[in-house]
Structure 1
Amino acid sequence: MSSYPVVRSLRLAPLAMAIILLGGCASAGGGARHPAQVDELYGQLDQASKGYETALQQSRAGDRQASQQTLARSLDSLKAAAARCGNTAGCDPQRFFSAFDHLLRLKDGDFDDTQDLAGDVDPSQAALAAGKAGPGSLPQAQRSVTLLHGQKLSQLIAMNGPVKAALEMWLTQWRPQLMDAWVNYQYLRYQMWPQYEKADLPEALLFGIMAKESGGKVHAVSRSGASGPLQFMYATGMRFGLGSDGGFDLRFDPAASARANAEYINEQLRIFNDNLELALGAYNGGEGRMRRSVGDNTATSFYDPRIYDQLSQETRDYVPAVLAAAWLFQHPDSYNLRFPRVDGAPGSVTLKRPASLTELTVCLGSAGGMSDGWFRTLRNLNPRLDPQVSQPTGSTLQLPKLLEKAYASRCVDGPWPILADDLHRAVVPVVLAPSAAPVAKEIRHYRVRHGDTLISIVRKLHCSSVQEVTDMNDLRHHRIGVGQTLKLPVCR
């Protein structure tokens, strides 16, 4: 994609005609003769294109259900023919891919003469993402998934080589992270999505960024110090209000980080004239570097060699990966992908007996069908709590609503809370290292002040890492408190 003009309203009829022409060209082949098998496959391409025209006529006649069924059959036929084409000598698969791309982008839109196509997301997936059921909730669910400042997200995603390669990675090597991100997001959605909705940004983009950044792990910290579900660096987080709240790093707060991320993305979209790829490149690689590379020509493509060749490999991979994850959020069924159904309705419990998050994880077990257990979800929903520290009776903890009854039946009385408490109190022997002449390391002490974070303190040293200070002080989750005295290495 070489530029990002404002996407104009798309009408079905012209694109349908273009698709039919694609099919006609494929079967005619400019007068060339093809083997019978190839002609048969090109004939299926023709039929799929004509099926789309039939879907249009059915919709205009008011029969939306028949229209949807016809379109679905056309897509299925096209996919089957494209698969056979790849193994048939003389057949050009690219002709099928072009038609398939057009059909997919228009899937599940409005088909009358007066309305724009409202969205291109699978209806069941849109309702599932919105946490709703029934046709009444679908139009808004589609808009929330697909629109960016009134523009269709699908029209801002170039289905080029890098994005296709990223789609393959998400469907293969990165698939576990994609599925974990989906589940984690469903439980965090009620906190994060409203921040994006207020900013007029698509939910699919939020999911794409989170899937690539952290996989939905609220307490994720990268080697460079980027932290939280959306991986803010310290300075950038401070610029968007993600400072310290009573010693808690707000980058780990799902709602606050989503709000800051939406503000950042909108800021960069204004700077780069709604060029989404450049805005994402700035988020990953730094806005200063991206502005210097782009200059005044914000209509340039992210993949222009003058831009692309100056970027780090991480940023080159990051942008198509985010867009591919967003695309899969919209079109899972079309890529043989099934996200699990998750009831993310929020709930809470008031503890009837002292318990830590780890103890609750043990006593809840696989309640609600969660085979991987609830530790990650409980941590994500209670980011300010140390999971190993027991919370007193009367404390209120956030958890999925579906666990409220499970807590009452499993974690208040009976054997499971007793077992959990016993395991939690277990003491692991400390094995001393063989006596060897230890290398003395000179240390100094630092008293934590208001506004300090572990990262800001380490930055003052210019020669130490967060992990080194964490290990020296036996810190949990990088937490420090005002007045606390820290041991720091002395640098020369």
Structure 2
Amino acid sequence: MPVPVLLARGWPLLALASLISFAPEAHAQRVSARDKAKIEVLQQRMTAAEKRYADALVLVTNADPKGKNEGDAALEDMEDVISDCVAQKGCQVSNLLVTYKRLLKNNADTRDSDDSDVIANDGGLLEADPDHVGPLAADVPEAARAAALLNDKRHAFDNMVEYNPAVQAGIRRWLTDMRPALMNTYENYQTLRAVMWPEWEKRGLPEALLFGIMAKESNGRVHASSRAGAAGLMQFMPATGRRFGLGPDGTGFDTRFDARSAAEASASYLNERMRELNNNVELSLAGYNGGEGRAGRVYRQNVGQSFWVDNVYNQFPAETKDYVPMVIAAAWIYLHPQQYGVDFPKVSAQPATIRLAKSTTIYELTICLGSTGTRDGYMRALRNLNPRYEADGWIPAGTIINATTRIAGLYNRYCVSGPRADLARTLITADLNAAIVRPTAASYTGNVAVGSVVPMAGVQSSTPVPTAPAAPVAVPAAKAKPKAVKSHKVGKGETLGRIADKFDCDVRELARANGLKAPAYALRQGQSIKLQGCGK
């Protein structure tokens, strides 16, 4: 009986060795006696975890079902030690990784040649990609990433589905015409991952499958809707949504557009399909897309048959025949990006909140935030994280909105006050109608005044002859008293936008009256400016 290789399933030997070779050494530093004592405790914990893992291997060899759980628990202990070492002054992670090297050697020595857990359907070894690090643990030190990956269970999905020509054709489409959609989905998902993935994880479903469904259904756009009435990231129809707690919440908001609620409902719905369809992923996806009634009927008529068997496959509509392999293909790329030359973008998506310093709109925030660290700016992230607000709807000052740490930093720097904040407000309040010039009657020239028509001797009455116009009667006009223009002395930290808000002025007219040039509208403290065009 082959000995299961607990360690190697999570991370193949070559890839792990690569990570270990790049594990950062601690910088030379003075280490106190207290820190040395803490480091010694960490070493003792690692030794104990190694022994626990070795004992688990013995149990596995003896076909004891407790062995697998004990092995996983031992690896988790090691991961905790690595994490604590990264945070501990003077602790050299490379010293602890020696334990992993020993475990790898032990697993290699006991590996059976018939171990089929790492063999793909095409007969080749599945390549485990170093960039698996990205989706799981962005911004984590390299050694800690290695520790987390050793117990990576995401590749259970590889054995849950068939990697066949239909899936390969789907991968081809995602990597060619649909590559932009795949990349957009990845960026959108990373922003939402903190609220969505936990709902799937606690229900035992693969993260790759969540990504695949989202890629096919909505490209990660929270407000996606179809002509058939499906809505949200996971495209729930109204009736199905109601079954799983989604729909209008009484405030005018449809919770199908809420990322956390949609993740929870979709995981529950998919698990319901999996229970009915003997955990067959393809049939469950077919039910998700083509109707649970049809999927259940086809399954009962063909018990034990794969989705790809012709008498099963051909009972589903064309849309479902396309949907199933495309979802699996997107999920497969998510798990094996390097294998297909995919370099997913690094997304700074640590969750944060912002208390708005002044009323604003998502459009205005998108302008003042700029696009630092992202190609397309932050509008989609803001909309996805705050689905209750329309892009052009005003959000009151003091409101707490969802964001990321990067967005929060940019907001405090550029959106509270300053030239970019003023420019964003100018652009967001710009009125197209204000650009249209409507000339007054006095501005017209070249008109000929025509007097009354009188008949003249020898001239037919049908031919009118104009007479000289009567001289206008001069009426003395009352002299209009010019309205006095107030002035204002610029205080510390004041900007043109703040002054315009304070005195109810038009920013552009105020700038023209004082010779200030856009977009900076630069002012200096103590400067006196004319309050031209102001209401107060």
SS of corresponding position for 2:358:
coil
Aligned to 2:263: 258
Which of 203, 208, 228 in structure 2 is aligned with 1:224? 228
Asked if structure 2 preserves the Cα contact closer than 8 Å seen for 1:272 and 1:298, the reply is: no
Who wins on radius of gyration, i.e. which is larger? 2
- Tell whether 2:310 aligns with 1:302: no
Asked if structure 2 preserves the Cα contact closer than 8 Å seen for 1:355 and 1:392, the reply is: yes
**CA apart distance, 1:424:** 1.7
Alignment of 1:131-146 (within 5 A): 131=138, 133-134=140-141, 135-136=143-144, 146=154
Asked if structure 1 preserves the Cα contact closer than 8 Å seen for 2:208 and 2:331, the reply is: yes
Alignment of 1:200-239 (within 5 A): 200-239=204-243
Aligned to 1:356: 361
Aligned to 2:102: 62
Aligned mates of 1:9, 1:202 — CA distance in 2: 26
- Tell whether 2:321 aligns with 1:316: yes
**CA apart distance, 1:298:** 3.9
SS of corresponding position for 1:62:
helix
Aligned to 2:122: 98
**CA apart distance, 1:351:** 1.1
Q: Deviations over 1:249-292 (max 9, x none)?
A: 01000000000000001000000010010000000000001112
**CA apart distance, 1:129:** 2.7
**CA apart distance, 1:228:** 0.3
SS of corresponding position for 2:239:
helix
Aligned to 2:344: 339
Aligned mates of 1:382, 1:157 — CA distance in 2: 35
SS of corresponding position for 1:248:
coil
Listed as ranges, the gaps of 5+ residues in structure 1 are 1-7, 16-58, 69-95, 108-120, 431-492
Asked if structure 2 preserves the Cα contact closer than 8 Å seen for 1:205 and 1:326, the reply is: yes
User: Higher mean Cα deviation, 386-395 or 270-279?
Assistant: 386-395
Asked if structure 2 preserves the Cα contact closer than 8 Å seen for 1:219 and 1:227, the reply is: yes
Asked if structure 1 preserves the Cα contact closer than 8 Å seen for 2:200 and 2:263, the reply is: yes
Asked if structure 2 preserves the Cα contact closer than 8 Å seen for 1:191 and 1:254, the reply is: yes
Q: Output the TM-score relative to the length of structure 2.
A: 0.57
Asked if structure 2 preserves the Cα contact closer than 8 Å seen for 1:220 and 1:229, the reply is: yes
Q: Deviations over 1:98-128 (max 9, x none)?
A: 343xx11xx4xxxxxxxxxxxxx53442454
SS of corresponding position for 2:307:
coil
With over 3 angstroms needed to count, the CA separation of the structure-2 counterparts of 1:229 and 1:278, relative to structure 1, is: same
Asked if structure 2 preserves the Cα contact closer than 8 Å seen for 1:358 and 1:387, the reply is: yes
Asked if structure 2 preserves the Cα contact closer than 8 Å seen for 1:126 and 1:145, the reply is: no
Aligned mates of 2:153, 2:226 — CA distance in 1: 28
Aligned to 2:291: 286
The code of the aligned residue for 1:314 comes to E
SS of corresponding position for 2:102:
coil
The code of the aligned residue for 2:122 comes to S
Asked if structure 1 preserves the Cα contact closer than 8 Å seen for 2:121 and 2:163, the reply is: no
Aligned to 1:389: 393
Listed as ranges, the gaps of 5+ residues in structure 2 are 10-98, 109-119, 435-536
Q: Deviations over 1:36-81 (max 9, x none)?
A: xxxxxxxxxxxxxxxxxxxxxxx9983749999xxxxxxxxxxxxx
The code of the aligned residue for 2:279 comes to D
User: Higher mean Cα deviation, 233-242 or 419-428?
Assistant: 419-428
With over 3 angstroms needed to count, the CA separation of the structure-2 counterparts of 1:306 and 1:168, relative to structure 1, is: same
**CA apart distance, 1:157:** 2.0
Aligned to 1:268: 273
**CA apart distance, 1:400:** 1.1
SS of corresponding position for 1:226:
coil
Alignment of 1:369-388 (within 5 A): 369-388=373-392
SS of corresponding position for 1:228:
coil
**CA apart distance, 1:397:** 1.3
SS of corresponding position for 1:398:
strand
Aligned to 1:457: none
Asked if structure 2 preserves the Cα contact closer than 8 Å seen for 1:214 and 1:231, the reply is: yes
Asked if structure 2 preserves the Cα contact closer than 8 Å seen for 1:163 and 1:324, the reply is: yes
The code of the aligned residue for 1:181 comes to T
The code of the aligned residue for 2:407 comes to L
The code of the aligned residue for 2:230 comes to A
Aligned to 2:171: 167
- Tell whether 2:194 aligns with 1:186: no
Q: Deviations over 1:357-404 (max 9, x none)?
A: 10000001112x212111101000000111111212111111111122
With over 3 angstroms needed to count, the CA separation of the structure-2 counterparts of 1:9 and 1:388, relative to structure 1, is: farther
**CA apart distance, 1:428:** 4.0
Aligned mates of 2:258, 2:121 — CA distance in 1: 42
Q: Deviations over 1:459-492 (max 9, x none)?
A: xxxxxxxxxxxxxxxxxxxxxxxxxxxxxxxxxx
Asked if structure 2 preserves the Cα contact closer than 8 Å seen for 1:127 and 1:141, the reply is: no
**CA apart distance, 1:144:** 6.4
The code of the aligned residue for 1:98 comes to D
- Tell whether 2:427 aligns with 1:423: yes
SS of corresponding position for 2:230:
coil
SS of corresponding position for 1:200:
coil
Q: Deviations over 1:131-168 (max 9, x none)?
A: 46244455656766626xxxx21012211111000010
Alignment of 1:41-52 (within 5 A): none
Q: Output the TM-score relative to the length of structure 1.
A: 0.62
Q: Deviations over 1:299-340 (max 9, x none)?
A: 211112212112111100111111111111111001111101
Aligned mates of 2:313, 2:147 — CA distance in 1: 37
